[in-house]
Structure formats: structure tokens, C-alpha cells
Amino acid sequence: MELSTEMISEKMENFLKLCKKNKVKITPQRIEIFKALAATDEHPGVDEIYNRIRLIMPNVSKDTVYRTLALFEEMGAAIKVEQLCERVRYDADVTEHQHFLCERCGGIKDFHFSGLRKLFKENDLSEVGEVKSMVLQLRGTCKDCLNNN
Amino acid sequence: MELSTEMISEKMENFLKLCKKNKVKITPQRIEIFKALAATDEHPGVDEIYNRIRLIMPNVSKDTVYRTLALFEEMGAAIKVEQLCERVRYDADVTEHQHFLCERCGGIKDFHFSGLRKLFKENDLSEVGEVKSMVLQLRGTCKDCLNNN
DNA sequence: TCTTAATTAAGAATTAATACTATTTAGGTT
DNA sequence: AACCTAAATAGTATTAATTCTTAATTAAGA
């Protein structure tokens, strides 16, 4: 679903303010990339943005798209859809539990979060679709890292 | 933290049963890889397993480690730590919301889940560490896919 | 022991993401 | 309005995770 023009221009104004606040140069590339991102609710990836931008600016490099999107996140103009774990990692514990990722040491600790199922029943998700699984992950600093510092 | 020997051999027995149940051949590589995985609670990645196995079997290929871990997941002998999103994706909506990933079309829909903060207060996570952020993602089939089929 | 489909090692191929470098440009300053 | 400089960009190279290919090996049932 594409968003309305008014909606987008409002977002664009806000974006330009954010750029000035952050002393970030307003370039045609940045404007087009933001416009492409703000015009959709499809949570596009780098390639989708890149392909769209190339129609208007045939010479943008993919590197620019990567850099620009990362910049938008830093500025608070966009968020990255959570990738909970950069690399594939495995766990021989197949019972139900949740994962805590330590941002300092990169380790993962298991924990049990109670009340999730109950909460799940209380929220009506039929408008979204048929939910098959749910993932809850936490991030922060693990106890070991807190103690060793 | 390494797990106790009894613990591991119990897991190993269960693993061998699973192999037979799934008509999967029991190879020395699979045994060693499972042993390495079951012996730790560190949620190792492919490289960690690979390096450990090479000490015992200097010729295993990384490809075998990849294949074997994926097989373990299929068999139900291990789980993959949730990677919520294979590729980087962005969202211009920076307000608090959750994501629903459609397994059929690959799309992402936004939704709002209420009661999370309350639940968060009710769970004591001080034993794990200092929590800075929390991610809740759902997976399933989105409404559009359900309707178009 | 024999047979065969499954598994493997080794290395090539693929692909997302990042880094490098020479060139260009936004935007403050004359 | 032209000028200056740090920031940004295009184009290309590189890195690193994962997957694929192929020929050789092997587990396990007959």
C-alpha cells in the first residue's frame, strides 16, 4: 500500500528538519531514498530501495543506499527491522524458552518469560493474519559483563 | 558453562533415537557435531562448532557442519536461534510497534501488542542482566495470503 | 560380504554487506 | 555569485557467510 501524498510531504518536512538538527547534508540521493522509504509500508530492503531509486537516478550506487539507510537509522528517521542475530546460531535445548543477547560480549543467555501465552490470547491478531509462532528476544548487558566491569 | 557428562550422554541417547526415527544415518560427523552442540549452552555458531570438530576430525568440511546443523533442526534435535529477518529491511515508522512476518509472501505487517510493558515488570530478569530493549515478532500467514488462497 | 542410496570433503560459486579511492558537491563563507 | 572545504558519492574491490557441485566414501539394510 502506497501512502498518501500529504502524508509523505509531512514526513519529508520532518525529515529535512531532522537533517538540519543533525547537521547532515541534504543531498538529492538522501531525499529520493527517504521518499521511497516513506512512501511505502512494505518495509523494503536495500535492493527494493535501490531498484526504485535507479529509475530516477540511474547512477546511485548500492553503497550509497546502504550508507544512507544506516544514517537514517542513526538520525532517527527510520528503523531497521530487527535482525535478532547476525549469524546463524544453534541451541540443543529444544524446550520453550527465550533468548537474551548481550550487546557487550555477544553471548546469548536463556530465560523464561511467563505470561506470554496469556497476553497472546488477550490481543486480537486476526486482522494481521494467522499467527504460527512468536519470538521474544531481549537485548542488553548480561550479568557476567556487568560483574566483570 | 560445559554441561555434565551424564547430561550429555542422556542427550546423545535421545539424539540417536531421533536419528533412527527419522531414518537418518548415524555418521561419526553427526555424532561429534551433536556432542559439541549438546556440551555447551553458549548457542554456538557454525564456526565455533567447526573449529571444535576440527580438533577431533581435521577433515570435516564447513559445508558438513552447515548441513548437519540444519538437519538437526529439521529432526527436532536442535533449534536455530531466531534470526527474525534474513536481510536488512527498513521502516520509516519510528513509533513503537511490532512486526509480523508472513511466511508465505515474505511481507511484513505492523501491529500493536498491548500489555507487553506490564508483563515486563512482572518478570524478574535481574538474574539475566540489564535489559535495554525487547523485540517481539510474530510469524505466520498474513491476511492477504489467507484471502488469496 | 555386497549393494546402493545417502553422506562427505574439497573447492567453486553466490550473495549480502562493507571498504576503498578518486571525484563531486552541499552549504557555509566570503 | 563565486569560493572553499569537509562531507558525500559512484564505481569498483573486498570480505565473509552460506550454498552448490562433483567425485569419492560410507552406513546400514539385504
SS3 labels along A50-118: HHHHHHHCCCCCHHHHHHHHHHHHHHCCCEECCCCCCCCEEECCCCCCEEEEECCCCCEEEECCCCHHH
- Choose among B11, B94, B137: nearest Cβ to A79: B94
Average confidence score pLDDT of chain B: 88
User: Is B18 within 8 Å of chain A by CB?
Assistant: no
CB proximity under 8 Å: B 63-122 to A:
69, 72-73, 76-85, 87-94, 99-100, 102-103, 107-111, 113-116, 119, 122
Question: pLDDT tens-digit profile of B3-42?
Answer: 677 887 888 999 999 999 999 999 999 999 999 999 988 8
- Torsion angles phi and psi, residue B101, rounded to 5: -100, 125
The pTM score is: 0.81
Give the burial string for A80-110 (b: 16+ CB within 10 Å, else e): ebbebbeeebbbbeeeeebbbbbeeeebbbe
Cβ of B46 and A87 within 8 Å? yes
User: Is A53 within 8 Å of chain B by CB?
Assistant: no
Question: pLDDT tens-digit profile of A123-141?
Answer: 888 889 999 888 888 889 9
Question: pLDDT tens-digit profile of A17-68?
Answer: 999 999 999 999 999 999 999 998 889 989 999 999 999 999 999 999 999 9
Nucleotide nearest A29, CA–C1', reads D9
Q: What is the pLDDT of residue A16?
A: 94
Q: Distance (Å, rounded) from C-alpha B26 to C-alpha B19?
A: 7
* A12: CB partners within 8 A, 6+ apart: A31, A34, A35, A38
Does residue A28 approach strand C to less than 7 Å at its CB? yes
